[in-house]
Amino acid sequence: MGKKQAATGPLSRRPDNSAFKQQRLPAWSPSLTAQTVLPTFYILSLVCLLLGIWLLITVKNTYELKVDYTNAGSCGNCFTMRNRGFHVPDCQCTVSFHVPKNFSGDVFFYYGLRNFHQNLRRYMDSRDDTQMVGRKNNLKAPSSYCAPFQYDAKGLPIAPCGAVANSMFNDSLSVTYNPSGGSEMPVLLYRKGIAWYTDKNVKFRNPPTNSTFTLQQAFEGTTQPLYWQRAVYELDDENSNNNGFINDDLIVWMREAAFPNFKKLYGVLNRAREPFTEGLPAGNYTLSINYNFPVAPFSGRKELVISMVSWFGGQNYFLPIAYLVTSGLILVTAVVLTTVYVKVGKKGKNMEE
Domain boundary assignment for the chain: 36-62+315-353, 64-309
Percentage of the chain exceeding pLDDT 90:
58
Span 1-14, pLDDT tens digits: 455 555 566 666 77
Mean pLDDT value across residues 340-351: 68
Dihedral angle over CA of 321, 323, 325, 331, nearest 10? -150
Crossing angle (nearest 10°) for helices 318-340 and 34-60 = 160
Is the backbone of residue 221 left (phi > 0), alpha (psi -120 to 50) or beta? left
Separation CA 250–CA 228 (nearest Å): 12
Task: Report the chain's terminal Cα–Cα distance, integer Å.
Answer: 66
pLDDT at 125 over 90: yes
Which of 75-89, 130-144, 205-219, 285-299 has the highest mean predicted lDDT (pLDDT)? Answer: 285-299
Q: What is the predicted pLDDT for the residue at 353?
A: 45
Average pLDDT over residues 150-177: 94
Select the more confidently predicted residue: 18 or 39: 39
Indicate the pLDDT class of residue 25, thresholds 50, 70 and 90.
confident
pLDDT score of 57 more than 80 = yes
Residue 351's pLDDT band, with cuts at 50, 70 and 90, is very low
- Residue 54 has what pLDDT? 94
Answer whether residue 275 shows pLDDT above 80. yes
**103-123: pLDDT as tens digits:** 988 999 999 999 999 999 999
Q: What is the pLDDT of residue 22?
A: 78
Q: How far apart are CA 213 and CA 121, in angstroms?
A: 38
pLDDT classification of 271: cutoffs 50, 70, 90: very high
- Which amino acid is located at 344 in the chain? V
